[in-house]
Structure 1
């Protein structure tokens, strides 16, 4: 007997299996961990901390790729490493706080998979937060940096090391059942990083995330950050295998890789850095007297320096016995050269591609023409003449104000000798300023013929 079931009025019978609703698959735990919970907030917190630390020192790195790299890696070492250790420990102790240990043990996934699903989202997001901060630093540096370029391996290696610190913290959080594990790890990480970072020995290269460079003068060899990342990553991998692996003896393999990387870092030492080839070059403007040369690491500063020294070079036009050029190579100038006042480090005399005090810079440049390399300035009539020449070549409002204060203090103290010296300097300056252009050029030519002597006799220097 065949019984036919008729559908109810208003409904149609399903024609095939495809008409039945298909249940949605559950979201993957990795995606859930990456989008919700603690990991995204930790990444935002790290990003804000790094951004604040690097923005606070923006004057000291905008305009130099080397200084920008040094600032970014230092912030990652002193802020990122303690933060990642603490965040990883907090995340690692979550199962115990929420009493999910038995639920985890009953899961179909293996222990290594469970561990990685819980640890990697935080580690990856913290590394991503660091890279976002680095992109901001590079974007802020690019308009003012005129030579060189960023160091991709330094940023990549630091990001990997930061992720490894988060994994190490996660292991500690799972193993140590103590609520203060996270803050203690943060404090310990900060102390260890600070101790290693200030070491004067080769052990300083073992500090996590700290790629040691020296501004634009020394740059890291390309493989140094990658070996540093292997040092941190190998330790993290060994800890993971030891805690969650099926065969804990396998932890010896990544541990051996980490120790090998550490040995290479320590034994190579300062060999991990090399001289920046740009630092041995100069970019010069030969339209002035003397020529003006700036270091090859900052060629964009040449127009700014020339503008600041324009008054000095105009006053020296037609004067004989001058140096051929202002050099900027970080070495002792030759006999026919004068040393350009230093443009480094960024943040002192130069901020964002501009001289902070052009008048003072010009005065320092004029001073290098007088008795260069002398340990002690001359005294007596020669010192009076030098001061008059300096005041005329590079007038500076700040220096004149300071001199006026010194004169007032000497007058208040009743120091007659100092007052007599100041009056002699004023008379000499007035005579030099009162000369005609031809007379002054001739006199300055005779004066600069003796300007290179540290202790000339008074009768050898033309008087005023």
Structure 2
């Protein structure tokens, strides 16, 4: 332990750990909105940042690996009776412990941000993803140690840093998904939907690769000749072969697997019912009055929806919803503090479409007519989606101008006549019929 303590103080281990914490935590807090919704988004975001941390660990190992050459004591140590491997173990241990602890500290820094808001804790998956991430840093730093000792030039570390970035990047954009999942610590971490996770089978395959990589780095670091260095390639080749053999081939499992528990709905005890996913359960209280305000506006229509659910389908989750199930489905957005983002959008999103979900098979949707009808129910002048929906950045001005004109025409009618026309629009949407002209002057 005394020797390990000396290595921690005098080697590059402590500096590498501090840089890892600074870069990792800094990257997290620059973009808290990407992971503030829960534990699993946090774990995946840190894994994604291995695009930066993994090359840094590789370079740190290479810098440390040339220490004997830099100090010109290689020949002196070679004459001692102490086995080479025994001399190298404290350095290996110091670098591994420091990088693993640094990765965990970055994770703790993220947990401190969401601990009061994130209610869904996928303990097993979160732990596995985090451990494999830390293991990948150990593999990188040990590989760097081996290469640095074998090629103790001053440029080795910076060259390896650049090569590490290219290696990680190209492994996820230039290789088949199944191969990238088996060898890249970054694959599968880009979020396609809120309920994404990393399958434990994929994590297992990657763990095999990272252990094999670490073993190769260790053998290169303690090798005494070219035969031993050549033999050091055996673990990584064998490990990659096994990882490729066991990694799943299903594209959904490799790229955007779903955590079914995170998608489960948590609902209010009273009515009208408002439900959100378990992942977003902390915003149910803030969302409920807004969702019910939207339902109150829709209640002017006969057979109006009576519940609001979070739309848990999302990108890459192809599931149809029944247009006649009495439920309005809306997206739930989380802000950088883990609370409800853009609350002003909730009521318009409940009422838009008059409670009829969008169906790409229906070719007669008319944004102008639907907006005018929805805002008549809200008793507000229509607004452009650019001012309402955060994801919309541009809209043709004529769309809202025409919607305002139709809305003004509805306001000139009696309430019964206007409601009849809005109801006719809703009924046409339910049957995928053309709604153009239903609100116009000629439809009187």
Instruction: Tell me the TM-score range normalised by the shorter chain.
Output: 0.7 to 0.9
Q: More displaced, 225-234 or 60-69?
A: 225-234
SS state at 1:399 partner: coil
Deviations 1:121-163 (A, max 9, x none): 1222011111111111122222222223341111112112201
Pair 122,105 (structure 1): closer, same or farther in 2 beyond 3 Å: same
Task: Note the C-alpha offset of 1:334.
Answer: 0.7
Helix, strand or coil for the counterpart of 2:154? coil
* Residues 68, 141 of structure 1: 8 Å contact kept: no
Say which of 271, 293, 307 aligns to 2:275.
293
* Corresponding residue number in structure 2 for 1:388: 372
Is the Cα–Cα contact under 8 Å of residues 280 and 329 in structure 1 kept in the other structure?
yes
Rounded to whole Å, the distance in 1 between the matches of 2:247 and 2:301 is 55
**2:35 equivalent in structure 1:** 61
Confirm whether residue 275 of structure 1 aligns to residue 261 of structure 2: no
Deviation of 1:398 (Å): 8.9
Aligned equivalent of 2:179: 203
Partners of 2:20 and 2:329 lie apart in 1 by 41
Cα contact 2:182–2:205 (8 A) shared by 1: no
In structure 2, relative to structure 1, the CA distance for the partners of 1:58 and 1:398 (3 Å cut) is farther
Q: Which has the higher mean CA deviation after the structures are superposed, 101-110 or 236-245?
A: 236-245
- Could you tell me which residue of structure 2 aligns to residue 219 of structure 1? 197
Q: 1:429 to 1:230 in 2, by over 3 A?
A: same
Matches of 1:104 and 1:225, distance apart in 2:
40
8 Å Cα contact 1:158/1:225 also seen in 2: no
Alignment partners' CA distance in 2, 1:208 and 1:389 = 51
- Residues 139 and 30 (structure 1), Cα distance of their counterparts in 2 relative to 1, 3 Å cut: same
Corresponding residue number in structure 1 for 2:73 = 100
Matched residue SS, 2:197 = strand
Structure 2 residue corresponding to 1:133, chosen from 95, 100, 106: 106
Separation (CA, whole Å) in 2 of partners of 1:427 and 1:460:
12
* SS of the residue 2:349 aligns to: helix
Which residue of 1 is the match for residue 322 of structure 2? 334
- 2:11–2:91 CA contact under 8 A, matched in 1: no
TM-score by length of 2: 0.80
Of the candidates 38, 45, 67, which is equivalent to residue 71 of structure 1? 45
Q: Which residue of 2 aligns with 1:6?
A: none
Deviations 1:185-208 (A, max 9, x none): 000000110112335622221344
Change (3 A) 1:89 1:234: same
In 2: Cα distance, 1:332 partner to 1:292 partner: 20
Aligned to 1:165: 140
* Structure 2 residue aligned with 1:176: 151
Residues 179 and 457 of structure 1, relative CA distance in 2, 3 Å threshold:
closer
How many pairs align? 416
Structure 1 residues 448, 111: closer, same or farther in 2, change over 3 A? Answer: same
Higher Rg of the two aligned structures = 1
Q: Is the 8 A contact 2:295 2:351 kept in 1?
A: no
| Segment drifting more, 330-339 vs 248-257 | 248-257
The TM-score with structure 1 as length reference comes to: 0.77
Matched-pair contact (CA < 8 Å) for 1:450–1:461: no
Q: Secondary structure at the match of 1:294?
A: strand
RMSD value, Cα: 3.7
Whether 1:373 and 2:346 are equivalent positions in the alignment is no
Q: Could you give the per-residue CA deviations for residues 3-44 of structure 1, whole angstroms, max 9, x where no partner exists?
A: xxxxxxxxxxxxxxxxxxxxxxxx843220112342212211
* 1:309 aligns to 2:291 (yes or no): yes
Query: How far 1:295 sits from its partner (Å)?
Result: 2.6
Unpaired runs of at least 5, structure 2: 314-318, 388-393
Partners of 2:26 and 2:18 in 1: CA distance: 12
The gaps in structure 1 that reach 5 residues or longer are 1-26, 411-416
Distance in 1 (CA, whole Å) between partners of 2:148 and 2:425 is 75
Work out the CA distance in 2 between the residues paired with 1:242 and 1:420. Answer: 72
- 2: CA distance, partners of 1:180 / 1:396: 66
Task: Name the counterpart of 1:258.
Answer: 239
Cα distance in structure 2, aligned partners of 1:401 and 1:185: 48
